[in-house]
Structure 1
Amino acid sequence: MTLPYDVNSELRGHEGAIRCISSLSNDLLLTGAMDSIVRVWQRDVNYTISRYISMESATIYDHEHWITASIALENGGYVTGSMDKNIRVFDVHGKRVGLLKGHKGGVISLAVSMDKKLLLSGSWDGTARVWNLETQQCLHVLPGHENGVCVLGLPDGSIVTGSTGQQVGNSVTDFKLRFWAKDTFTLTKTQIDHQGPIRQLVLVPDIGFVSCSNDGSIKLRTLDGGVIASMEHPLNAEGKPGFVLGVCVLSNGLLVSASEDCTARVWSADGALVQTIEHPGGLWCVTALPNGDFATGCDDKIVRVFTSDPGRVDPDAAASLQAAVEEARIAKTRGPSGVEIEALPNYDHRASVNGTSDGQIQMFRRGTKAWACQWSGPSRTWIDIGEVTGTGGGGCS
């Protein structure tokens, strides 16, 4: 039986919500945030309780907007995707060696093909793109998606993509999985079984892949998309599911989901809930680490590494997390007043509210909460940012 996960380390340094995390090696983590900065963190191997130090020499400041996707490369380098619509390729020393242009909207998903030769990207422009990593040329555009796209390369060389749906009246529909053939990248199959935007796709060794969605579910699938198990985050006080924005697969076969409901949840492959870990803010991402740990990226600007090894738990970091969770509960009472929230436009009717410029921030009324969204000019949709609270830290209950 797996022991409970607890905090091994807190990584502080970003000035914006953590949007993506990638493991570059056993001792290196890459993080990207809504401060438009990429940081590389090195683990001090002299400590049993991990200490990660931000390497200033490897910090990247040249993004023009949020960093919303990242992935490690086999050669030790890495790739980032940004809401500035560009993809940047970096070598093992953190030097930029490529700038891939072509997307007309923010880049929100990155993956590498199983043979490590192709880079896959998904964007708010409704397309996925296939790039040759060596030449950095775009080989194919996979069109026709409903707004935001997440991407995954499958073991046989084919590709699966997921979309965030399209607005029809006051509802969003068509949250589709699409399967694309190897080499020709022609569309072979489309299916719909999520009831909300699909946010991430992750390979599950020897089984298939997993998808997560704004409908609050995580679906474990065969390689052809068949559902083996479905896991559900509970409904909130308004009777709606918390958006599940990220998922990862640990080396022991467990799954971890990250949700804007301010929890990371650990699941067994048969769909049973193993553990719930509260956070002080909504979670944007979760990433498995080579040693069996995992890292979460939170609205409160902190990356947290969790371990199931009792000897590697940092009591101070664990206490810090619990204190932050309690503080967030208190801060929730200091958010926008009920009168102010009632005056906001309805989140469910946001399609009727047009943004005035790309990047505009607008608050909506979502149940009894104030909810911030950002206008995407290319896709003409509102992109979720998160709940507005008195402290800006997520304020989850």
Structure 2
Amino acid sequence: MAVPDYKLSAVLCGHSLDVRCVATTKEFCILSASRDRTAKLWHPEGVKDFVNVVTYKGHRNFVSCVCWLPPCEAYPDGLVVTGSNDNTILGYNLQDGVIQVTLEGHENAVCSVTPGRDSGILLSSSWDSTAKVWNINASRLPPLSLKGHQAAVWAAVELFNNTYATASADKTIKLWKKDGTVISTLTGHTDCVRALAVANPETFLSCSNDASIKHWTNKGQCLNTYYGHSNYIYSISMNPVVQQGFATCGEDGAVRLWAGGDCVRDIRLPVQSVWSITCLDNGDIVTGSSDGIVRVFTKDPARYADEATLKQFEEDVAKMQAATQQEIGGFKLSELPGPEVLLEPGKADGQTKLVRRGTNVKCYSWSAAESTWNEIGDVMGTPPSSEGKTMYQGKEYDFVFSVDIKDGAPPIKLPFNKTEDPWVAAQAFIHKNNLPQVYLEQVANFIITNAKLDSQPVSSNNGFADPFTGESRYVPGSGSVPGLPPPSHADPFTGSGAYTTASTTTSREKMLIPHDAYIRFDQANLKAIHDKLKEFNSKVGDGLSALTDEQLETVVKLCEPNNVYNNETISILKRMLEWPKEILFPVLDVTRLAVRNKEINGQIFDRSYGPTFIKYLLSLLGPDNLPANQMLAMRVLVNAFSDLPGEMLVLAARESVVHSLICLSQLNNNAQIAATSLLLNLSVALAQQPDSVDLADCLVQLLPRITDNEAYFRGLVALGTLLAESPNKLQIQTRVVSSPQLHNRLKKDSGNTMDQNCAKIATLSQQVVSLL
């Protein structure tokens, strides 16, 4: 069935961040919801233009969904309804944006709001694994909760046969009676089910992260499955002017139009993600996308945009497409890996990797300090050897990167020309967007690598900084980078020229909750470690053979980044780990540095040696062991997260790890920092898992005993991460509030804004208290 050609009709600019949802209201008006914490009403003006006439404010986090609730008994003018990541639903007066209704009840982000078929009925769904049915005419009454899904509920709609349908990240769709009883669970999708649409009185549609669309009867029979997208499908909307027609959009940056089950039209957008789609009564299509723009497309030539706008749009799309058809960074698009490659950690600080995402390419940089791949941006331009340019804000650039710092935070454009100084560009980018200074080297390193510049980044004294303290790895012979913070805590036994436990405290970098990257202990004085190993080597006794100076030197070289070693050296290190416990600590120090290397991590934490080694480390946490061994055993466990084998083994032993930490007592400052760092990494890994409550119990017991400010700070980050992301947030809140010692300390610290030395803890305590 032929569908008339759709072209761009209008470009609606006004949001500063991603537009996550678009919807329609009466008189061809458009509603949009954005990560900028607002929703907007766009009113048609003239034949094809729209004007932002009302901006709806009030949410404390980004607005994830919006809908129009038609007039009802309580609100005869209707309501604009929004849902947010602040867990609330707000209802506004359409004309002036005054808040009329506040609905609280969801325990996590609200990701969809949809009117029911009866007057005054509103359906909502949430990351808290429930959907709710609200009666706006009696908003003080508790809503009906639809409980049964095992993961986030992305969408909820009411079908024509007096049943509700919900779509979930647990890959299923559930049908419910009006009293909240489950009728059936529909399976077939192989990934998160993201959206639902009522097709007609007898059927409905679903779309999924598995890049498929399914057509269901209201009783749950799957009639057909449609394919056309190359990546996640985020949104689906029925087209009122096309028989059996609907529109979809997704992560492949495309809108696809369907008729009779066939994909009959493909509209490319110059964006990475098209988050939402809806159809106006006249058949025009509205999209909300990751560039913060609302676009309207039409099949009516009278509503086509002017020639200049159409030409610019086509050029932007062509540039986006051209980038994927050429060699990018020396690779053809077909040779680039998909996002699954990011499951494997990087091999060295600053390593970059190009990843194919649908028909687009993103670049990621490995941060050894954070033990994570950080998305630097879209590869949008032509390769460095080309004369092609990318247009951004009226200027041409060799590259325009789109940096998404974190879900919920702004995606930031980073334009760069090869004639610029990469360090100046990186510093300007950081200052402009108020980013932590520790990002400087990472951003500059990425620019130099991917622009194929001749100059190389000057490594800081300690490489990439620890995200909390500025502490980082030791790089022999390197100078410092101006502007990078100094270390705030020295590693154990690595003072100036002496193997002691002295440490100093300086300012720390600003923290974010929730935290989403692993941290490590990287700083080291290799000469001091080497000297101590030589001293202890002569004392091994107990039938253990002393090592030669050459063997000791090769073992110490395991601590260096990008070291070259052989398997015999790893065998020597394993033998040294059998040294008597009173002289073991420098061997543990070598081990915690060595396991940062991908290959060494794989050998130390392999299936044969790894489980036994983990048990041995846990045995060193016993009360009868040297404090140095306790602290360094924890640091080895922290650095185990540097690569997948170590991460998996620590997580597999998490119950024993948590139990050991609870039993620790009389910890010195360095040991306190090691313990809370280990809990922080566990929190990052387990925050969204049900057993995160056990981890929270450990933090609640340990934090009141922490006396070191840095350790307490890291522990609060771990606790805040759990409170922000755990599916059992309510239980964790109860644990914290039920601990008078911790709860009172939080409240006290959150008000201690006058003491500059405690300012960071005060800010963080305020964030944690706000989550309780």
Paired position in structure 1 for 2:316: 324
Matched AA of 2:29: L
Unaligned runs of 5+ in 2: 72-77, 346-351, 365-374, 380-399, 404-410, 414-772
What's the offset of the Cα at 1:206? Answer: 3.6
For the residues of structure 2 that align with 1:100 and 1:12, how far apart are their CA atoms? 29
Paired position in structure 1 for 2:554: none
For the residues of structure 2 that align with 1:29 and 1:23, how far apart are their CA atoms? 5
For the residues of structure 2 that align with 1:336 and 1:146, how far apart are their CA atoms? 41
| Higher deviation after alignment, 153-162 or 254-263 | 153-162
Conserved 8 A contact 1:163-1:197: yes
Unaligned runs of 5+ in 1: 166-174, 235-240, 351-362, 373-384
Matched AA of 2:33: G
Shift in alpha-carbon separation, 1:65–1:364, aligned structure 2, 3 A: farther
For the residues of structure 1 that align with 2:57 and 2:122, how far apart are their CA atoms? 23
1:143 is matched with which residue: 143, 147, 163?
147
Matched AA of 1:215: D
What's the offset of the Cα at 1:2? Answer: 2.9
Conserved 8 A contact 2:253-2:268: yes
Shift in alpha-carbon separation, 1:386–1:291, aligned structure 2, 3 A: farther
| Higher deviation after alignment, 26-35 or 386-395 | 386-395
For the residues of structure 2 that align with 1:62 and 1:119, how far apart are their CA atoms? 19
Aligned pairs (5 A) from 1:101-120: 101-120=104-123
Conserved 8 A contact 1:113-1:157: no
Shift in alpha-carbon separation, 1:205–1:328, aligned structure 2, 3 A: same
- What SS class does the counterpart of residue 145 from structure 2 fall into? strand
Shift in alpha-carbon separation, 1:307–1:126, aligned structure 2, 3 A: same
What's the offset of the Cα at 1:345? Answer: 9.0
Paired position in structure 2 for 1:275: 265
For the residues of structure 1 that align with 2:27 and 2:340, how far apart are their CA atoms? 47
Conserved 8 A contact 1:347-1:365: no
Conserved 8 A contact 2:161-2:218: no
- What SS class does the counterpart of residue 166 from structure 2 fall into? strand
Paired position in structure 1 for 2:173: 177
Conserved 8 A contact 2:69-2:120: no
Conserved 8 A contact 2:159-2:201: no
1:8-64: per-residue Cα shift (whole Å, max 9, x none)?
Answer: 1111111111101111122321101111121111111xx33x111111xx2123221
1:368-394: per-residue Cα shift (whole Å, max 9, x none)?
Answer: 75589xxxxxxxxxxxx9975543299
For the residues of structure 1 that align with 2:310 and 2:300, how far apart are their CA atoms? 13
- Corresponding position: 1:121 with 2:117: no
Matched AA of 1:81: G
Structure with the higher fraction of residues in helix conformation: 2
Matched AA of 1:154: L
1:65-87: per-residue Cα shift (whole Å, max 9, x none)?
Answer: 11111111112421101111111
Matched AA of 2:188: D
For the residues of structure 1 that align with 2:302 and 2:166, how far apart are their CA atoms? 40
- Corresponding position: 1:100 with 2:103: yes
Conserved 8 A contact 1:348-1:366: no
For the residues of structure 2 that align with 1:210 and 1:157, how far apart are their CA atoms? 17
1:80 is matched with which residue: 62, 79, 82?
82
For the residues of structure 1 that align with 2:234 and 2:327, how far apart are their CA atoms? 26
What's the offset of the Cα at 1:328? Answer: 3.0
1:105-133: per-residue Cα shift (whole Å, max 9, x none)?
Answer: 11001122211332111001111111111
For the residues of structure 2 that align with 1:337 and 1:126, how far apart are their CA atoms? 44
Matched AA of 2:247: V
| Higher deviation after alignment, 322-331 or 197-206 | 322-331
What's the offset of the Cα at 1:320? Answer: 2.8
1:66 is matched with which residue: 62, 69, 81?
62
Which is higher, the Rg of structure 1 or of structure 2? 2
For the residues of structure 1 that align with 2:192 and 2:65, how far apart are their CA atoms? 17
2:299 is matched with which residue: 303, 308, 319?
308
Conserved 8 A contact 1:345-1:364: no
Paired position in structure 1 for 2:285: 294
Paired position in structure 2 for 1:266: 257
For the residues of structure 2 that align with 1:187 and 1:107, how far apart are their CA atoms? 21
Conserved 8 A contact 2:161-2:201: no
Matched AA of 1:284: W
- What SS class does the counterpart of residue 134 from structure 1 fall into? helix
1:317-373: per-residue Cα shift (whole Å, max 9, x none)?
Answer: 3223212213434677999999xx99x9955589xxxxxxxxxxxx9986675589x
For the residues of structure 1 that align with 2:343 and 2:108, how far apart are their CA atoms? 23
Query: Highest relative contact order (Cα 8 Å, sep 6+), 1 or 2?
Result: 1
Aligned pairs (5 A) from 1:1-397: 1-44=2-45, 47-48=46-47, 50-55=48-53, 58-75=54-71, 76-93=78-95, 94-136=97-139, 137-149=141-153, 150-165=155-170, 175-182=171-178, 184-234=179-229, 241-252=230-241, 253=243, 254-268=245-259, 270-281=260-271, 282-315=273-306, 316-329=308-321, 346-347=341-342, 370=362, 388-389=378-379, 390-392=400-402
What's the offset of the Cα at 1:203? Answer: 0.9
Conserved 8 A contact 1:260-1:284: yes
What's the offset of the Cα at 1:142? Answer: 1.3
For the residues of structure 1 that align with 2:176 and 2:183, how far apart are their CA atoms? 6
For the residues of structure 2 that align with 1:305 and 1:117, how far apart are their CA atoms? 29
* TM-score normalised to structure 2 length: 0.42
What's the offset of the Cα at 1:260? Answer: 0.7
Conserved 8 A contact 1:10-1:303: yes
Matched AA of 1:122: S
Shift in alpha-carbon separation, 1:59–1:226, aligned structure 2, 3 A: same
Shift in alpha-carbon separation, 1:386–1:11, aligned structure 2, 3 A: farther
For the residues of structure 1 that align with 2:29 and 2:210, how far apart are their CA atoms? 33
For the residues of structure 2 that align with 1:59 and 1:199, how far apart are their CA atoms? 27
What's the offset of the Cα at 1:303? Answer: 0.9
- Percent same amino acid among aligned pairs? 26
1:254-307: per-residue Cα shift (whole Å, max 9, x none)?
Answer: 110101101000011x31111000011110000011222110111111111111
Number of corresponding residues:
346
Structure with the higher fraction of residues in strand conformation: 1
Matched AA of 2:401: T
Shift in alpha-carbon separation, 1:335–1:245, aligned structure 2, 3 A: farther
Shift in alpha-carbon separation, 1:143–1:335, aligned structure 2, 3 A: farther
For the residues of structure 2 that align with 1:84 and 1:92, how far apart are their CA atoms? 22
For the residues of structure 1 that align with 2:111 and 2:197, how far apart are their CA atoms? 14
- What SS class does the counterpart of residue 391 from structure 1 fall into? strand
For the residues of structure 1 that align with 2:8 and 2:86, how far apart are their CA atoms? 33
For the residues of structure 1 that align with 2:188 and 2:216, how far apart are their CA atoms? 11
- What SS class does the counterpart of residue 32 from structure 1 fall into? strand
For the residues of structure 2 that align with 1:334 and 1:130, how far apart are their CA atoms? 51
For the residues of structure 1 that align with 2:129 and 2:363, how far apart are their CA atoms? 24
